[in-house]
Amino acid sequence: MTRKVLLVDDDAAVRDALAQTLELNDLEAVTAASFVVAKDHITPQFDGVIVSDMRMPGRDGFHLLEYAHGIDEELPVILLTGEGDIPMAVRAMGHGAFGFLEKPCAAADLLAVLQRAMKTRALVLENRRLKVQLERGDPAARMLFGTSPQSDELRAKVRSVAPTGAEVLVTGAPGSGISKVAEVVHLMSQLGHGPFVKRPSAGLSADSFDELCSAGAGGSVFLDEVSALPETTQYAILDRLERGAGTRVIAGSTANLADLVEAGSFNPGLFYRLDVMRVRIPSLSERPGDIPELYRQYVGQAAEQAGIAVPDISPEHLAALMAQDWPGNTRSLMSAAMRFVLGMPEESGEVAELGLAEQLAQVERSLLIAALGRQNGRAAAAAQALKLPRKTFYDKLTRYGIRPEDYRR
């Protein structure tokens, strides 16, 4: 949610007092003494809200409201009025002002109005962002959230493999969203207009696979947890793929198929056929910086489903979320968001109250894992990326029980 407030008042004492009030409440105050100065800050990219005095030399608050809405008609403008300015303020409300407060206003009243304005602004900007993505026809940006380098790499990988038409293997930890990534691959392919047929692999027979291919003709078939395919079906699917299955096959696996091939429990020919195009989903522990955005998205979705207002999420709550391991990945983060929206108590160990030392340790552990993930499990390269001596790096891995081989793709 935006934290920026443009304060416009020609009275320096009032302006400074308001700025101090905002800064004491973790808001970013940008000040201007006149309309002329303020308008330089009001651009199409301005993502905050405006608080302006009604009466100022030259152009007043009403002129500022008109100018701001000429740039962005949904930009919230809150007006501060003297006793004699109330009729003018009411007229401004009719022209789209978000609200007005009579001077001198109590800090609590100002902050309450600002919170509502900032929530409104955040929703407007998010809706615009999603609309732009939808208009661009980019399901990867629309459906795969996250701003970390790992998320950027995931979206880039999906965009590169989707148009090829070849089989794709999507891998990741349990709860990481394998099915969603598979669907995005389908939507971004030339077959995206066709059906997307999903089926668990456990117990799937060769005849059932043929039926799936018929149902998915002109589209894609997604085999979830492909490691669970019966042995005879593995050979049958490989044969169908080599002869042409008539549909695109996307496979998903939380298991390491290469290990299963080595152990003799998965058909090597099928593995190599599926592994031509692989998309690996990074776990949340590798990209803790994505947790705040993902959580806000899930909280918004949960609130919409429940038909209630989106609750405030404190910085302390987000910090506690980032300090967790999240072995259940995005699936467990979604569950936490739903419980938060419904006011249900957190599960044991989730969003725990941690001391500073514990929080720092959790963050350090997340950074180590993220570095290993980026370097494909190569410990020496990860240590160099973090600018740590190798011995120090390995000591930290031992302390946190991290094995580099777990992050090799």
Instruction: Judge whether residue 405 has pLDDT over 70.
Output: yes
Residue where a domain terminates, one of 264, 280, 296: 280
Same structural domain, 169 and 111: no
The per-residue pLDDT for 126 is: 75
Same structural domain, 348 and 358: no
The domain that holds 343 is classified in CATH as 1.10.8.60
Percent of the chain with pLDDT over 70: 90
State the DSSP H helix or E strand holding residue 157, giving kind and residue range, or none if neither: helix 149-161
Residue 348 confidence class, pLDDT cut points 50, 70, 90: very low
Name the burial class of residue 307, with classes exposed (0-12), middle (13-18) and buried (19+) by CB atoms within 10 angstroms of its CB.
exposed
Same structural domain, 348 and 359: no
Instruction: For 389, list phi and psi in degrees, rounded to 5.
Output: -60, 145
Same structural domain, 340 and 359: no
The per-residue pLDDT for 85 is: 67
pLDDT digits (tens, 9 = 90+) for 245-263: 789 999 999 999 999 999 9
The per-residue pLDDT for 216 is: 86
Same structural domain, 104 and 155: no
* Residues whose CB is less than 8 angstroms from the CB of residue 41 and which lie 6 or more positions away in sequence, other chains included: 6, 30, 32
Same structural domain, 85 and 168: no
Query: In the chain, how many domains are there?
Result: 4
Same structural domain, 336 and 379: no
Average pLDDT value over all residues in the chain: 85
The per-residue pLDDT for 349 is: 46
Residue 137 confidence class, pLDDT cut points 50, 70, 90: low
The per-residue pLDDT for 351 is: 47
d(CA 42, CA 198): 49
Residue 378 confidence class, pLDDT cut points 50, 70, 90: confident
Least confident range from 65-69, 88-92, 161-165, 218-222: namely: 88-92
Same structural domain, 11 and 98: yes
Show the domain range for 102: 4-133
Query: Does the reported pTM lie above 0.85?
Result: no
Residue 229 confidence class, pLDDT cut points 50, 70, 90: very high
Instruction: For 334, list phi and psi in degrees, rounded to 5.
Output: -60, -45
d(CA 339, CA 18): 36
Q: Is 8 helix (H, G, I), strand (E, B) or coil?
A: strand
pLDDT digits (tens, 9 = 90+) for 64-112: 998 898 888 889 999 988 766 677 767 777 878 898 888 888 899 999 9
